[in-house]
Structure 1
């Protein structure tokens, strides 16, 4: 694949129109905000917390390992089970699985090599798959290089947070784009971090986890988490 085709592919998968999940979750932001507008610095701190505590050491690592092993369904199943065990909040597990299934279904409709076979595993209930597992595998099927795949995953993660903030009325479109711009360097830094084949993903975002646990008791909710 040429550099131009890879860039166009990365843009396609990074685009919010592509069904790769993220639109139904706020990572606890809805509960934290409680309907009140959040000052820019506090919103920035939340974005940084989620990038450093969840995306970089957890979702990014899972995406990379799935990318490397996209032709090994049994490995993907084991990786998927790890995500299931490490995602404490039930609503987040459900949302992640729904997003991953939708992503893999879209890849199958696009006739990406290997997608149909993975969908067979999904239908046999051996693979959910969780969103970062599906995303890593699908980006590899599409010929997106590993480093670029991390940037696509990072952009989708950050854009999902920004989109949630806009829909909750916590910031405007320009404010959200300013936040995304400020955190691009964080995503680039994480993408340069090596991921060994035996890497153990870790996640530490306690305030978001607690907010998501409380969120399920809310009577009126815009987001699943």
Structure 2
């Protein structure tokens, strides 16, 4: 499978990526009146990428992708990266959602016959705090022959499109307005993707409003999403 075709498969919204049950705190922000229309959704999307994904999840993804599949050395290094992701992610809800999505992605590929995904899924399940989504994405994308640039684009787009779809399901915007928000977000985040992650980059993020929203999500009586 070529990199482009592999990337299209990973980006297909019908593909069971393991992240469709999570709104990344959007559900709480909608309930609190922070996200109410296409404009506020666009700000939420761009903040999610610029202040979190680009400086944290993207860094983890790049490092996981670079580890390759040379077991057991790569597995040990990936577990160490997973544990680093765990201790640097604020909030148990965010950590739990990332792990569940990552294990879900690994499980899907394991059922499709990926030995590397099955092996690492079992390792992550048996190791406390492991199985994070960005780590899993780096592994499966590398195994499927998806280039790093395509892997980054797919992961970023999966986040944006997933959040936009969540907004539609929550009734904040319609499908057309969601596409408008995605187009605007794309214009703002493409320059970020044009700059590669520095070799010495350390995962970091600053999204206090979203972090608090994620933690408060568990207090809601009626919930459409797991986070």
Gapped regions of structure 2 (runs ≥ 5): none
The TM-score normalised by the length of structure 1 is: 0.91
1:26 aligns with: 23
Q: Please, what is the CA RMSD of the aligned residues? A: 1.9
2:206 aligns with: 204
Using the alignment, how far apart are the partners of 2:129 and 2:87 within structure 1? 14
* SS of equivalent to 2:219: coil
Give how far 1:126 is off.
Answer: 6.1
Using the alignment, how far apart are the partners of 2:149 and 2:85 within structure 1? 21
Runs of 4+ in 1 over 4 A off after TM superposition: none
Q: Deviations over 1:118-146 (max 9, x none)?
A: 23423433673111110111000000000
Greater shift in the superposed pair: 169-178 or 70-79: 70-79
The TM-score normalised by the length of structure 2 is: 0.90
Assess, with a 3 A threshold, how the Cα gap between structure 1 residues 223 and 123 changes in structure 2: closer, same or farther.
closer
- Whether the 8 Å CA contact 1:59–1:132 is kept in 2: the answer is yes
Q: 1:8 aligns with which of 5, 9, 21?
A: 5
- Whether the 8 Å CA contact 2:38–2:180 is kept in 1: the answer is no
Q: 1:216 aligns with which of 208, 213, 218?
A: 218
* SS of equivalent to 2:65: helix
Using the alignment, how far apart are the partners of 2:181 and 2:118 within structure 1? 37
Structure 2 matches for 1:127-146, cutoff 5 A?
128-146=130-148
